[in-house]
A and B are shown apart, each in its own frame.
Chain A
Amino acid sequence: MRVWLIRLMALIRKEMLAILKDPSSRALLFAPALMQALLFGYGATYDLTNAPFAVLDQSRSAPSREILARIEGTGVLRRIATLESSDQIAAQIDSGAALMVITFPPDFAARLAAGTEAPMQVILDGRNSATAGAAGGQIAAIVARYNADLGHAPPVEVVRRAWFNPNYESRWNLMPAMIASLSMLQTLMLAALSVAREREQGTFDQLLVTPLSPLQILIGKALPSIFIGLVQSTIIFLIILFWFRIPIAGSVGLLYLGLLTFTTASVGIGLSISAVSLSMQQAMLYTFMLIMPLMLLSGLLTPVGNMPEVLQWATYANPLRFGIDTVRRVYLEGASFTDIAPNFLPLLAVAAVTLPLAAWLFRHRLS
């Protein structure tokens, strides 16, 4: 047993050194994760922060001015132009200068005073339906409040309360997902290259003639990649917690347990790719081919629930789906172990298939 451990430790140490000393894999380790976390943290948002709009106010009345003032008062909508005629609307929207044009008809104030329906028009740039939807929702909410203040309250009021993310900040949704997805991007690649690189450089044969058993090789190859994956996750986690100040609701221990399981499954996939590939180029190609669907079908950008049924089933083989879900639920919702226990099953299943497969392939994929 002691000798068994000596052998394993020697391999783990070598793997760590090989990763840390190889300029090309070292470059992959921390800088890209850090950079992307910051860049995407600011850049990847669905929230309106400074959405430009134009106004065509043909009513020029107190109510229209009041509504406009309320719109501008949100701080996230910015008036960039005041139009004189409806001919000018197209140019504003077509050029993308304004996300929306708000129009008040000449009889707006009169109708409102008469107690009839007083329509105002909102024209939205639908080239990004998500932004358009958000802006439309904002206006609707402002108008509803205005109506209520005027005493036009509906008979039934819907009181809305959002759990976990009270202000609907999309960053809260995206950033924790990056703890899983950004680190997966690179751990998968590291694991996929680990055996392929040795094959290409001829050192793998040298490894196979040593007394190291397939299990030792598997552990020795998997642990460093898992470790580095967790370090990357930690970097992103800390950025989210302290830089973007998104409060964590759940237990850090459970978060890491989820990440560990998720990373192990990813590394299993990576090592399987690596064991199948004969060259680094092949390994990179396979990884790339795999990463795209894994990312797209993970719920990172759009929810899994919006996919067609068939694709939803396909996502059960995708560790990233459950990785992201676990991180989001623990981080934002404070989920307990029993809440997210079902997530562990697919992750463990992927690991249980890919890791033994990789170990078997080490020795049997030779010629």
Chain B
Amino acid sequence: MSAGGFSRRRLVALVRKETRQMLRDRSNLVVGLLLPLVLVLLFGYGLSFDVRNGRIAVVMEDSSAATSSIVAGLAGSDYLDPIWTNSMVEAEGMIRVGRADAILRVPPDFTRDVVSGGAQLQLILNGVDSNTAQSIESYATGAIQMALAHIADRQGSAAPSGVTVVQRVWFNEANTSTWFLVPGLIVLVMTLIGAFLTSLLIAREWERGTLEALFVTPMRPLELVLAKLAPYLVIGAIDLVMCLIAARYLFGVPMRGSLWIITLSSMLYLLVSLALGLVISGVTRNQFAASQMALLASFMPAMMLSGFVFDLRNVPPVIQMVSQILPATHFMGLIKTLFMAGDYWPQILRANAILALYAVLLIYLSWRMLAKRLD
């Protein structure tokens, strides 16, 4: 036995013990492997900002060939699902009961106004879900402009003039929300394993009184900390592979950064998240409190405040500061860049340095917390 007392043999024995316990408790495997799988599928398929089949009630108070051809553009759009009606009252009712998200009203004098100039179409949107409303607005106006351009073309009128905006969306050419949600999912899964699984680990040993017996052996606390982390690193690695495969082949998210940097950074974040779970576990010494704290202090913020869906550039400075404290925020930024933009080294170095710092700090804390004392 060395002077520091650290023994590889004991570490191996403890790792074996933790691995066996993990494998035998079916709930561990359910949360560790099944839940991530369910999440991958749900996130990938269930969460989307991309409006499809936006339901738009079209009120034709003036039906002429011209209006028909303009409005026909709506039906051609993949994103809109027009419902034809003749009554504004009926259309308003549709919005009220939630059967339509928008109304396009073609007023009675429309055809005449087109000729005389100053023709107006009325677009009424349910603004409650601003994202959907904005999407429908731009799809509807786009479809109408296109139809007008067509008409103008046929009539051979003047070429368009004025300022046009050429929009290019970098990193996400397909402009689909799946591309940015799925990489974020890796963060959530890694957080979940740490938050829910490891937060129970030490608390469980406190509750069952096994820690007391373990303390009165030559075992050193650091050996126990490392042994508790090891099997869950493997579970996390399996989840990571699962996420990467799903991202690449199921959801077609590009992977522009190098795979090994994605893997290494993810494993580093996993380590941080596992160690955070251990610290929570050691602080509470109670499984219920541990899982609550893990949920409230680690998982929920990672979902809401890390820039996963809500862009941190939009939030007030105070919230930004809070989010900067979360390790999840740094990893979230990094993983999105790695997936969609590529190896951007300043960010890789910075984020990994912060994560490494957290890992060291949290492992040190959980080690201190396992000082062999009951009081």
Residues facing B in A120-150 (CB within 8 A) are 120-134, 136-137, 139-140, 143, 146-147, 150
The answer, yes or no, to whether A173 is at the interface (CB within 8 Å) is yes
Residues facing B in A150-169 (CB within 8 A) are 150, 152, 154-169
The answer, yes or no, to whether B47 is at the interface (CB within 8 Å) is yes
Partner of A126 from B70, B173, B300 at Cβ < 8 Å: B173
User: A53 CA to B134 CA in the complex, in Å?
Assistant: 21
Contact B336 A127 (CB under 8 A): yes
User: A43 CA to B179 CA in the complex, in Å?
Assistant: 22
A133 to chain B, nearest CB (A): 7
User: A126 CA to B168 CA in the complex, in Å?
Assistant: 9
- Taking CB atoms, residues of chain B closer than 8 Å to A128 are 180, 307, 309, 311, 336
A247 to chain B, nearest CB (A): 13
The answer, yes or no, to whether A10 is at the interface (CB within 8 Å) is no
Q: Which residue on B lies nearest to A170, using beta carbons?
A: B130
Partner of B172 from A126, A152, A335 at Cβ < 8 Å: A126
Contact A118 B163 (CB under 8 A): yes
The answer, yes or no, to whether B89 is at the interface (CB within 8 Å) is no
Q: Size range of the interface on A?
A: 35 or more
Q: Which residue on A lies nearest to B152, using beta carbons?
A: A155
What are 29 A-to-B residue pairs whose CB atoms are below 8 Å? A40-B305, A43-B304, A43-B310, A44-B310, A46-B311, A96-B337, A120-B164, A122-B165, A126-B170, A126-B340, A129-B169, A136-B165, A139-B165, A147-B163, A150-B162, A157-B121, A158-B122, A158-B140, A158-B144, A164-B126, A164-B128, A281-B204, A288-B196, A296-B46, A302-B46, A306-B51, A306-B132, A333-B96, A333-B128
The answer, yes or no, to whether B131 is at the interface (CB within 8 Å) is yes
The answer, yes or no, to whether A329 is at the interface (CB within 8 Å) is yes
Chain B CB count within 10 A is highest, among A44, A63, A93, A325, for A44
Contact B319 A131 (CB under 8 A): no
Contact A329 B98 (CB under 8 A): yes
The answer, yes or no, to whether A297 is at the interface (CB within 8 Å) is yes
A181 to chain B, nearest CB (A): 11
Partner of A63 from B135, B163, B173, B322 at Cβ < 8 Å: B163
Interface 9-residue window, one of A109-117, A215-223, A346-354: A109-117
Q: Which residue on A lies nearest to B31, using beta carbons?
A: A285
User: A328 CA to B127 CA in the complex, in Å?
Assistant: 11
Contact B313 A169 (CB under 8 A): no
The answer, yes or no, to whether B177 is at the interface (CB within 8 Å) is yes
B294 to chain A, nearest CB (A): 10
User: A308 CA to B47 CA in the complex, in Å?
Assistant: 10
Q: Size range of the interface on B?
A: 35 or more
C-beta contact mask, B148-179 vs A, less than 8 Å → 1, else 0?
A: 10001000000111111111111111011101
| With A129-B169, A173-B128 as contacts: A311 and B163 at CB distance below 8 Å | no
User: A170 CA to B135 CA in the complex, in Å?
Assistant: 13
Contact A133 B148 (CB under 8 A): no
User: A28 CA to B161 CA in the complex, in Å?
Assistant: 61
A76 to chain B, nearest CB (A): 9
Contact A131 B311 (CB under 8 A): yes
A255 to chain B, nearest CB (A): 15
The answer, yes or no, to whether B258 is at the interface (CB within 8 Å) is no
- Taking CB atoms, residues of chain B closer than 8 Å to A193 are 288
| With A44-B304, A117-B164, A281-B27 as contacts: A165 and B130 at CB distance below 8 Å | yes
The answer, yes or no, to whether B355 is at the interface (CB within 8 Å) is no
The answer, yes or no, to whether B145 is at the interface (CB within 8 Å) is yes
The answer, yes or no, to whether A86 is at the interface (CB within 8 Å) is no
Contact B124 A49 (CB under 8 A): no
Contact A47 B314 (CB under 8 A): yes
Q: Which residue on A lies nearest to B55, using beta carbons?
A: A305
Residues facing B in A327-361 (CB within 8 A) are 328-329, 332-333, 335-336, 339, 342
Contact A127 B130 (CB under 8 A): no
Q: Which residue on B lies nearest to A284, using beta carbons?
A: B291
- Taking CB atoms, residues of chain B closer than 8 Å to A24 are 286, 288-289, 292
- Taking CB atoms, residues of chain A closer than 8 Å to B341 are 93-94, 127
User: A196 CA to B313 CA in the complex, in Å?
Assistant: 43
User: A6 CA to B243 CA in the complex, in Å?
Assistant: 55
Contact A49 B316 (CB under 8 A): yes
- Taking CB atoms, residues of chain B closer than 8 Å to A301 are 47, 309
A238 to chain B, nearest CB (A): 20
Contact B167 A127 (CB under 8 A): no
The answer, yes or no, to whether A213 is at the interface (CB within 8 Å) is no
Q: Which residue on A lies nearest to B119, using beta carbons?
A: A156
Q: Which residue on B lies nearest to A23, using beta carbons?
A: B289
Partner of B333 from A96, A150, A293 at Cβ < 8 Å: A96
The answer, yes or no, to whether A234 is at the interface (CB within 8 Å) is no
| With A96-B337, A306-B49, A328-B128 as contacts: A133 and B319 at CB distance below 8 Å | no
User: A52 CA to B311 CA in the complex, in Å?
Assistant: 12
Chain A CB count within 10 A is highest, among B70, B127, B315, for B127
The answer, yes or no, to whether A280 is at the interface (CB within 8 Å) is yes
Contact A46 B314 (CB under 8 A): yes
C-beta contact mask, B192-216 vs A, less than 8 Å → 1, else 0?
A: 0000100010001000000000000
Q: Which residue on A lies nearest to B160, using beta carbons?
A: A117
- Taking CB atoms, residues of chain B closer than 8 Å to A132 are 169, 172, 175
Q: Which residue on A lies nearest to B173, using beta carbons?
A: A126
Partner of A280 from B31, B287, B347 at Cβ < 8 Å: B287
The answer, yes or no, to whether A32 is at the interface (CB within 8 Å) is yes
The answer, yes or no, to whether B375 is at the interface (CB within 8 Å) is no
The answer, yes or no, to whether B13 is at the interface (CB within 8 Å) is no
The answer, yes or no, to whether A119 is at the interface (CB within 8 Å) is yes
| With A47-B130, A285-B27, A296-B47 as contacts: A42 and B315 at CB distance below 8 Å | yes
Residues facing A in B273-327 (CB within 8 A) are 286-289, 291-292, 295-296, 300-301, 304-305, 307, 309-311, 313-316, 318-319, 322-323
Contact A143 B165 (CB under 8 A): yes
C-beta contact mask, A30-67 vs B, less than 8 Å → 1, else 0?
A: 00100010011011111111111000000000010001
Contact A127 B172 (CB under 8 A): yes
B174 to chain A, nearest CB (A): 9
